[in-house]
Amino acid sequence: MVELRYVRHRYEGRVVLDFEQFGLPKNGTVALVGHNGAGKSTLLRLLALLEMPTEGHVLWNGTVVSNRARGALRSRVTLVEQRPVLFRGTVRENLQYGLRVRDIRHAAADGIIGDVVDKLGLAPLLTRRRNELSDGEVQRVAVARALVLRTDVLLLDEPASSADRAAAGALYRALAAERAERPFAVCIASHQLEDAYRWADDIRALAEGRLSPVTPENLFRVELAPAGTDTMSARVGAIDILVTTDRAGPAVLAVPPGDIFVSSAPLSSSARNVLKGRVTRIAAHRPGGGVAVTADVGVELVAIVTADAVRELALAPGVPVVFSFKASAVRVF
């Protein structure tokens, strides 16, 4: 649907984004993870066609977007910024704003607004003004203001950062309901991965403006604490995972399933994480082939191995197994 290729984007001479490709497929869902300042918001602004990359191209349905075409295409994509603002006026007037831009008024506008308002439970707020709303309510109204536009692409920057767990759940349910009626592409930049992972087709991590793929397996929200001269420790369920990072405090860990060595006994190696457990599940792995071996090693971890390895190690549910991986293999967001 919309794609960025060979992008190098600068702000005041400083490179803030530098990657080869980022695509949001038609009707697809992509979650974008990364810490503050990683470049998520800038990437979303490029996807929203609000800015053009300093170097590289934006493609819309495979065609390079020119500066001239950008204006017309901008009405087919919308972005809800992190910490959104409402315009002067009531919630209803805010919801009408983008529809007026598109010359949709009166009964047609009321019908669309009513539908989205029901999904997001905003009916009691319609006559309120921005100074009468909480941060979480402003965020929900901002999402509704974007949803009523029925764009082909919806970009959400931390859409649930001001919402409590229940409100965040309602927001994601409303999005799912809307997509069930009318498919559209969604890209969500978020720290709150649990919700995004539940329905995202693809997850991309952004760090220092560079992108890397992330699989949704083996992701944990942790608290990092110093463990050695160059390692940090993270408590996950009943085990501690050692990580090479200079970060501390709250973080998200990803253990790439392809970086886990599976063996029947502990290996003598440089791997700092050696976890014993039993296989709980074996299944064919979706993208890229291989077999996904899930084991309970104090917490459920998934490793991707070849079918030959499964056969040689005689892996089956209930069989004892050892998962080993290096501290430097663990990704921290």
Partner 1 sequence: MEFLAEGFRRAWSLLIAGDSEIFGIALLTLKVAVVATTIACAAGLPLGYFLATRRFWGRRAALTVVNTALAFPTVVVGLLLYGVLSRRGPLGGIGWLYTWQAIVLGDVLLALPVAAALSAAAVQGVDPRIRRTAETLGAGSWRTAWTVAREARFALAAVITAAFGQVVAEIGAALIVGGNIRGQTRTLTTAVALYTSQGDFGMALALGLVLLVLALLVNIALQALQGRGSG
How many angstroms separate the CA atoms of 166 and 47, rounded?
29
Burial class (CB in 10 A: 0-12, 13-18, 19+), 19: buried
The footprint of partner 1 (CB under 8 A) covers 48, 50, 71, 74-75, 78-81, 83-85, 87-89, 97-98, 101-102, 129-132, 142, 145-146, 149
CB of 200 to partner 1, least distance (A): 21
- Output phi, psi for 144, to 5 deg: -60, -40
Torsion, Cα of 314, 316, 319, 324 (10° steps): 80
Given the complex with partner 1, which of 40 and 145 has the nearer CB atom? 145
Neighbours of 195 (CB within 10 A): 20
The smaller minimum CB distance to partner 1, of residues 6 and 87, is found at 87
Q: Cβ–Cβ contacts within 10 Å for residue 122, how many?
A: 21
- In terms of CB distance, is 98 or 257 closer to partner 1? 98
Residue 123 CB contacts under 8 Å (≥ 6 apart), including other chains: 117
CB of 145 to partner 1, least distance (A): 7
| Nearest distance in Å: CB 181, partner 1 | 21
Tell me the C-alpha distance between 293 and 319, whole Å.
Answer: 11
Distance of CA 165 to the CA centre of its chain: 17
Q: Work out how close the CB of 36 gets to partner 1 at its nearest, in angstroms, rounded to a whole number.
A: 17
Given the complex with partner 1, which of 14 and 88 has the nearer CB atom?
88
128/289 Cα distance (integer angstroms)? 53
71 or 287: CB nearest partner 1: 71
Least CB distance to partner 1 at residue 153 (A):
11
Q: Is 133 exposed, middle or buried (0-12, 13-18, 19+ CB in 10 A)?
A: middle
Pair of tokens at residue 255: 């253990």
Phi then psi dihedrals of residue 145, to 5 deg:
-60, -30
Q: Provide, rounded to whole angstroms, the least separation between the CB of residue 236 and partner 1.
A: 37
- Indicate the residue among 37 and 169 with the shorter CB distance to partner 1: 37
* CB 13 to partner 1: min, Å: 13
What single DSSP character describes residue 77? Answer: E
Nearer to partner 1, 154 or 203 (CB): 154
